[in-house]
Amino acid sequence: MTTQDLQSMLEMGVAGFGLRVNSQIVASTASVVVKSGPGMIFGIEGFNTSSTAAFVKFFDTSSPTVGVTVPVFRVQIPPVASGPLIIPLENGKTFGTAISVAVTGGIADSDTSAPATNTFILNIFYK
């Protein structure tokens, strides 16, 4: 599936409704609130211009502490040579409280290492 296929599917809507997009250039490990209330994620795109992977961590809270709060969902943005991260979630991933996300340089839930500035772009398709 290509990036364009994913965008078309999500913009036309899964189950007949359109989705919002949270798009960010990752500059630190600070968490970002995607949605301050309950919601669902239907797709993720991640782009990486470096040779080092980064790790996206999703939280079911609007105020996670990166490295302390345990993520409920994790994905890796692969190094540039591996191509972009494209994950369609046709049935969605439900978050009961809020949707927050952070990107770190390490896989461990306790990791707080910052990814290189302006190296990663993350798009989250949600409702």
Q: Residue 99 has what pLDDT?
A: 96
Query: At 112, which CATH number?
Result: 2.60.120
Q: What is the pTM of this model?
A: 0.82
Q: Residue 41 has what pLDDT?
A: 94
Q: Confirm if 122 and 77 have CB atoms less than 8 A apart.
A: yes
Q: Which residues pair with 104 in a beta bridge?
A: 55
Q: Residue 4 has what pLDDT?
A: 57
* 106: Cβ contacts below 8 Å, ≥ 6 apart: 55, 113
The total domain count for the chain is 1
Q: Sheet containing 85-95: which strands, arranged edge to edge?
A: 20-26, 120-126, 39-48, 85-95
Looking at the chain, how many residues does it have?
Answer: 127
Range of the domain at 68: 3-126
Q: Residue 118 has what pLDDT?
A: 82
Chain mean position to CA 118: 16
Q: Which residues pair with 125 in a beta bridge?
A: 21, 43
Across the chain, which has 127 residues, the per-10-residue mean pLDDT values are 56 61 82 94 91 93 95 92 84 95 94 87 91
Q: Residue 17 has what pLDDT?
A: 58
Q: Residue 85 has what pLDDT?
A: 85
